[in-house]
Chains A and B, each alone.
Chain A
Amino acid sequence: MKKLFILLFSFLTISAYAEAPVEGGEFKPGDMITHHIADDYIWHFADGVTLYLPVILVDNGQFNVFSSSNFYDENHELVPYGGYVVSHGHIYRADASGQPSADQSSLLDFSITKNVASLFVSVALLFFVFFTIAGAYKKNPGKAPKGIQSFFEPIIIFIRDEIAKANIGPKYERYMPYLLTVFFFIWFNNLLGLMPGGANLTGNIAVTLVLATLTLLITVFSGNKSYWAHIFATPGVPKWLAPIMIPVELIGILTKPFSLMVRLFANITAGHIIILSLFSLIFIFQSVAVGPLSVAFATFMNFLELFVALLQAYIFTLLSAMYFGGAVEEHDHVGDMGHGDGAHH
Chain B
Amino acid sequence: MELVTPGIGLIFWQTVTFIIVLFLLSKFAWKPIMNALHDREASIEKALSAAEKAKLEMQGLKAENEKLLAEARMERDKILKEASDAGNALIESAKQKANEEGGRMITQAREAIENEKRAAITEVKNMAAVLSVDIAERILRKELSNPQAQQELAKDYIKEVTLN
Contacts and interface: CB of A to CB of B under 8 A. Distances in A.
Given A126-B25, A181-B25, A185-B18, A37 B3 contact: yes
Contacts of A113: 7, 9-10
B32 A119 contact: no
A177 B26 contact: yes
A141 B36 contact: yes
B67 to A, nearest CB: 40
Interface stretch (B37-45, B70-78, B118-126): B37-45
Contacts of B30: 130, 176-177, 180-181
Q: Chain A: interface secondary structure?
A: helix
Nearest to B36: A137
A165 interface: no
B5 interface: yes
A119 B11 contact: no
B60 to A, nearest CB: 30
Contacts, number: 116
Contact of A110 (B3, B8, B29): B8
B24 A127 contact: yes
At the interface, is chain B mostly helix, strand, loop or mixed?
A: helix
B10 A206 contact: yes
Interface string A56-99: 10000000000000000000000000000000111000000000
B2 A110 contact: no
A134 B33 contact: yes
B88 interface: no
A133 interface: yes
Given A137-B32, A156-B33, A204 B10 contact: yes
Given A119-B17, A130-B25, A109 B9 contact: yes
Given A116-B13, A127-B24, A209 B6 contact: yes
B14 A111 contact: no
A157 interface: yes
A160 B14 CA distance: 25
A219 interface: no
Given A119-B13, A134-B33, A210 B3 contact: no
B37 A157 contact: yes
A142 B43 CA distance: 8
B22 A177 contact: yes
B21 to A, nearest CB: 5
B32 A209 contact: no
Contacts of A180: 25, 30
Contact of A205 (B3, B15, B18): B3
Given A39-B10, A113-B10, A138 B32 contact: yes
B8 A115 contact: no
Contacts of A133: 29, 33
B37 A110 contact: no
Nearest to A153: B37
Interface in B23-57: 24-26, 28-34, 36-37, 39-40, 43
Nearest to A184: B25
Contacts of A131: 28-29
B23 to A, nearest CB: 9
Contacts of A156: 33-34, 37
Contact of A206 (B11, B26, B31): B11
A38 B2 contact: yes
Nearest to B34: A176
Nearest to B23: A177
Interface centre among A39, A89, A137, A265 (most CB of B within 10 A): A137
A147 to B, nearest CB: 14
A177 B9 CA distance: 26
B82 to A, nearest CB: 60
B161 interface: no
A151 interface: no
6 contacts: A113-B10, A116-B13, A130-B30, A160-B37, A205-B4, A206-B14
Interface of B: 2-15, 17-18, 20-22, 24-26, 28-34, 36-37, 39-40, 43
Interface of A: 34, 37-39, 56, 88-90, 108-113, 115-116, 119-120, 123, 126-127, 130-131, 133-134, 137-138, 141-142, 153, 156-157, 160, 173, 176-178, 180-181, 185, 204-207, 209-211, 214, 265, 269
Given A137-B36, A185-B21, A204-B6, 17 more contacts: A88-B2, A110-B8, A113-B9, A116-B9, A127-B24, A130-B29, A130-B30, A137-B33, A141-B39, A141-B40, A142-B36, A177-B30, A204-B10, A206-B14, A207-B10, A207-B14, A209-B11
